């Protein structure tokens, strides 16, 4: 991902993280290799268990990434730029009490307490792969329900064409949001967005858990969105607001580097990132890279959303 430093650095101080990243990935893989069977279970899922029914039709038939890797190799820039920062620092995030404001161009705006949000629709387990724009992917058994179930409750008006997602802004919980933080800087809060039809698509999951339990803080507790056919950064964490809007939301990564990160950000092996190829990826826990699939393998379900759209232009 683009690395830009705050303070005395300028927007031109852009470094390519891929070398560092590849070394980290190798270390994660190597650590898995030297562990004896069972040793990797030191980090077992914690937190409240959630009852959810596996949605087999929408689940990959693949072995999930080890919980250990999925919770120690994270992107959550509110905690810092390094993959291990979220696991190390996310103890400051307090996922209860928590409220999510659902508003904008809707007939019935409402602020939901997180526990009410959890009970709004039956919880499903869905095994999705998440493809980071940096070239790695994971397979994660998420728990949640279609975002559409929430959006239909608040009844978007005829003027709503997009949905904007906003992450918590609170420097007391997120060290990288503090003015004194020296290092990577996005404009906070983290904002993402989808077209309304993307947000209403049955694959788009309002996500409250993984691996049978509530989300660990580093994975975006207490609630995030998961959009499996798009690069991982579209799947914003720790949401406090979901807003229906008329115009394309100004998203964090697009603002930081518009030439590198577009609004759509559909996984597309045919459109390279300006600084690296997107043709292949490495599943965390595997050694050989595998080809990246159009729409991360969900093309049958979502390609029709983009009929007539030039995906090289609308990257
Ligand atoms: N608020 C917020 N959401 C975020 C990010 C972030 O930095 N801040 N990183 C994104 C990126 S780049 C990826 S790849 C995924 C990683 O999700 P995971 O750590 O649960 O695997 O979260 C996305 N959501
Ligand atoms: Mo990412």
Q: What is the mean pLDDT of residues 119-146?
A: 98
Ligand 1: which residues within 6 Å by Cβ? 74-78, 130, 132, 138, 167, 190, 219-220, 232-233, 235-238
For the cut 80, the answer to whether the pLDDT of residue 14 exceeds it is: no
State residue 39's pLDDT score: 38
Q: Report how far apart the first and last C-alpha atoms of the chain are (Å, whole number).
A: 16
Cβ atoms 164, 308 nearer than 8 A: no
Mean pLDDT of 227-236: 99
Domains of the chain, earliest start first = 14-306 (3.90.420.10)
pTM, two decimals, is: 0.89
User: What does the pLDDT average to over 54-75?
Assistant: 98
Report, as an integer, the average pLDDT of 204-232.
Answer: 98
- How remote is the CA of residue 107 from the centroid of ligand 1, in Å? 30
Report the distance separating Cα 169 and Cα 163, nearest Å. Answer: 19
Measured in Å, residue 235 CA sits from the centre of ligand 2 at 9
Mutate to test the pocket of ligand 1, among 100, 139, 193, 235 (most ligand atoms within 8 A of CB): 235
Distance from C-alpha of 175 to C-alpha of 118, rounded to nearest angstrom: 27
Q: pLDDT band at residue 25, thresholds of 50, 70 and 90?
A: very low
Q: 165 phi and psi, to 5 degrees?
A: -115, 130
Judged against a pLDDT cut of 50, whether residue 24 lies above it is answered with no
184: confidence class by pLDDT, cuts 50, 70, 90:
confident
């Amino acid at each position: 991902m683009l690395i830009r430093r705050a303070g005395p650095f300028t927007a031109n101080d852009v470094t390519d993280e891929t070398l560092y990243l590849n070394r980290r990935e190798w270390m994660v893989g190597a650590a898995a290799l030297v562990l004896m069977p069972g040793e990797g279970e030191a980090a077992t899922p914690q937190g409240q268990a959630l009852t959810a029914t596996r949605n087999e039709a929408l689940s990959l038939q693949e072995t999930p990434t080890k919980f250990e890797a999925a919770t120690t190799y994270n992107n959550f820039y509110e905690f810092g730029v390094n993959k291990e920062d979220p696991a190390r620092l996310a103890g400051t995030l307090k996922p209860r009490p928590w409220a999510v404001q659902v508003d904008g161009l809707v007939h019935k705006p409402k602020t939901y307490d997180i526990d009410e949000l959890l009970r709004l629709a039956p919880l499903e387990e869905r095994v999705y792969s998440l493809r980071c724009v940096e070239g790695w992917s994971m397979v994660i058994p998420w728990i949640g329900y279609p975002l559409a179930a929430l959006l239909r409750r608040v009844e978007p008006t005829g003027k709503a064409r997009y949905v904007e997602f906003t992450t918590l802004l609170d420097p007391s919980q997120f060290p990288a949001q503090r003015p004194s933080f020296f290092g990577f800087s996005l404009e906070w809060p983290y904002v993402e967005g989808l077209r309304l039809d993307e947000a209403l698509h049955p694959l788009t999951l309002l996500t409250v858990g993984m691996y049978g339990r509530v989300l660990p803080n580093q994975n975006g507790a207490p609630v995030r969105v998961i959009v499996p056919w798009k690069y991982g950064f579209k799947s914003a964490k720790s949401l406090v607001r979901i807003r229906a809007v008329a115009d394309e939301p100004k998203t964090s990564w697009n603002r930081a580097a518009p030439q590198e990160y577009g609004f759509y950000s559909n996984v597309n092996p045919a459109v390279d990132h300006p600084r690296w190829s997107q043709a292949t990826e490495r599943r965390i826990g595997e050694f050989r890279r595998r080809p990246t699939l159009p729409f991360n393998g969900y093309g049958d379900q979502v390609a029709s959303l983009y009929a007539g759209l030039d995906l090289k232009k609308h990257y």
